[in-house]
Every structure is written in C-alpha cells, then in structure tokens.
Chains A and B, each alone.
Chain A
C-alpha cells in the first residue's frame, strides 16, 4: 500500500505553480503516458447488463 504524507504531496504539487503550461505534451511526458497506458487500461469497466436493459426499456416506453 502506498503512503504519501501531506507534506510530500504539498511539496509535489506546489512545484506545479511554476511549471510551464503553454506547450503540448513533450516527448518525455508522452513517453511516460505511454508507459502507464496498459496499467490504466486495466481499470476499464463495463456497466451491468441490467442497467443497459433498464435504459432500453425506458426508451421503448417513450416510443409507445
């Protein structure tokens, strides 16, 4: 389990105030993003089928 103190978080995020935001993602940032994509994709989820059924039932009810 990861633990990060409030002080560490403040230290991390305060540095952002001076960061440059004008340009697009640079190569290093893009590479990092690509490196975590597969991990992020493990979080992809799907709604329960009954939720879809409820939605379609609502639609059909309105169509009648």
Chain B
C-alpha cells in the first residue's frame, strides 16, 4: 500500500517499528497546518521555524520512547505540543506576540492566479492586511480558537481538550471571534472583496 493511502495511525506505527518513511509522510501531510498554526500565534517566521522543529523533536522523542498515547489523533496531539511550546516561549520571555508585516511567500501572488487590475489587487492586498491585523486585535483566547479551528482543522472537542476548557467555551470563543471580526469590519466599513 502506498504511503499516501495509509492513515496517520498506520504511519505512526510504521515509524515506531523503525521505518523513517512513516515520519516523512506524516510531516509532509501535516506540516502546513502545524507550521501555520504556530506562525499565526507567534507572528515571526524564524521563531515559528524553531518552535515547529522543537515540536517535532518532542514528537520523535516520544514516539521513539514508545510513550505515544494511541487514544488521541496524531494531528491534535502534535498541535497540542506546538501550542504548549508557544505558551512556554511567551511565559519564559514574558513577551507578547507582536504584529509584523507579513513578508511571507504567497503562492497566488507568484502564480498571478487572479486576472485582475492593479487597483483590484491593491484592494485585495489591503483587505488581506486589514483582516490579518484584525485577527491580531482579537483577545488571545479567541484568536487561538480561530487559528486552531481554521488552520489546524480541529474540532471544538479537540480545541477544548488542548486549551483545557469545555466544548461550549471553545465554541463560544469562536463565535466571539467571528462576531468581533465582523463588528470591526462594520466599524471600519471594510467589505471583503472576494474573487
């Protein structure tokens, strides 16, 4: 069976049995979700790379030691480790996340995916920047749930487990996040020009 056809559980067991290819496929499959979730919390590419790497070092060490809890799913487990490392970082340095200009690589910009005028592109880019800024203005617990839900593709149950709150609280935070984003957009008369 091809690696792509194996589920996470099977890949974890492959890796624990000594086949490195299992880990490589798990990383290939989930790297963007995990990295983006970390990046959105720390807003620093270099720090996100470090925490992403430390996250997988912990994953590897746990799997190699045979301490993996098979009751949980792989992705939420890894995201939980990453989330805890982000918290540790800010606690240790007593820092708060900062807003920086996104200098990240955007595949759609490179490919020229959209057939649009310069003015349309400027509006789209400004809208994107505004939305990014608004997300950073959300209270941390709301931002956290939005990031885990959207970028981590996690259920409210999984988010609740990671953040040590009830499912209703996790859901409530998502609702607040969405309502607050909408209010901020209304306040600033920002309309999304979705193409």
> Which residues of A sit under 8 angstroms from B64, Cβ to Cβ?
59, 62-63
Chain B: residues with Cβ within 8 Å of the partner, total of 57
Query: Does B11 interact with chain A (Cβ within 8 Å)?
Result: no
Say how far A5's CB is from chain B's closest CB, in angstroms. 10
| Prevailing SS type, chain B contact patch | helix
> Which residues of B sit under 8 angstroms from A63, Cβ to Cβ?
18, 20, 64
> Which residues of B sit under 8 angstroms from A4, Cβ to Cβ?
137, 184, 187-188
| Complex CA distance for A52 and B31, rounded to whole angstroms | 9
Say how far A6's CB is from chain B's closest CB, in angstroms. 11
Interface contacts (Cβ under 8 Å), in number, total: 124
| Complex CA distance for A37 and B135, rounded to whole angstroms | 13
Interface positions of A from 1 to 55, Cβ below 8 Å from B:
1-2, 4, 8-9, 12-13, 16, 19, 21-22, 24-25, 29, 32-33, 35-40, 42-48, 51-52, 54-55
Q: Judge whether A51 and B194 touch: CB under 8 Å.
A: no
Most chain B CB neighbours (cut-off 10 Å) among A2, A35, A63: A2
Q: Judge whether A51 and B52 touch: CB under 8 Å.
A: yes
List 12 additional contacts besides A42-B128, A44-B36; criterion CB under 8 Å. Answer: A1-B133, A12-B180, A13-B139, A25-B174, A25-B175, A39-B194, A43-B40, A44-B151, A45-B105, A47-B53, A59-B20, A63-B20
Query: Which 6 residue pairs across A and B have the least CB separation, nearest first?
Result: A21-B172, A47-B35, A55-B56, A2-B130, A16-B176, A59-B60
